[in-house]
Amino acid sequence: REAMAAGPGGGGAAAAGGPGWRLPGRVLELVFSYLELRELRSCALVCKLWHRVLHGDENSEVWRSLAARCLAEEALRTDILCNVPTYKGKVRAFHHAFSTNDCSRNVYIKKNGFTLHRNPIAQSTDGARTKIGFSEGRHAWEVWWEGPLGTVAVIGIATKRAAMQCQGYVALLGSDDQSWGWNLVDNNLLHNGEVNGSFPQCNNAPKYQIGERIRVILDMEDKTLAFERGYEFLGVAFRGLPKVCLYPAVSAVYGNTEVTLVYLGKPLDG
């Protein structure tokens, strides 16, 4: 707690050159392992040493302890986070997962924290956004279906204004000017209620297979949205995205279908 009092401009022991300032890195790491994420963010601003202890090793006891506290056991012992190699990355992925408060009333987020379950409600299309959106930087996340696609299964991005539920079985994501989506059932790109062509742009493009992980890449520097299947880059799907906060999102129609989304961080180039 001394760390928080010693934040930028603070009057704690660290800011005053007290004992907290001079603790060895290993001792600081043990102390930090008891703190929550918001407190750790404050600690990282105190001085270069504290910042280095917190961010120098993404598998340190600090992040290992925080992951054990905030992540469900299922998320840690299954392959949900298999492409997130560090404990810091796993904690970050959790904080970028589906929001339990920003989704259709006909879906719920499972206890693992990353998987959406759509209830078997007739004549309804239901979606969900993540907790955190992006207005700058480059970001990647994985999405995969763990149940039937139904007639419409869309992945993409949406603003905060895009609807997450509507009547009937429709391509909700991409149905207005507030969202952009790729329908995995018919390989159509959707925005503003219109089909913007097929994707990927190749002859006889393979259809999505249940369980196949699709990597979504949002580049707010170039204002583009692209997709990968496995390690194959499928191309840029949308260009000219607006400079607004955009959220990873999905929409589904099939009863009891499940969709998992895992944030990966900055995409790897090449």
Domains and CATH numbers, the chain: 25-92 (no CATH), 99-265 (2.60.120.920)
The pLDDT value given to residue 9 = 41
Q: Which residue has the tokens 């906060």?
A: 245
pTM above 0.85, yes or no: yes
Computed over every residue of the chain, the mean pLDDT equals: 90
DSSP letters of 88-140?
HHHHHHHHTSEEEEEE-TTEEE-TTSSEEEE---TTEEEEEEES--BSSSEEE
- What are 16-63's pLDDT values in tens digits? 455 555 677 788 888 888 888 888 888 888 888 888 888 888 999 999
- What are 106-159's pLDDT values in tens digits? 999 999 999 999 999 999 999 999 999 999 999 999 999 998 999 999 999 999
Q: How many CB atoms lie within 10 A of CB 195?
A: 13
- What are 166-220's pLDDT values in tens digits? 999 999 999 999 999 999 999 999 999 999 999 998 777 788 999 999 999 999 9
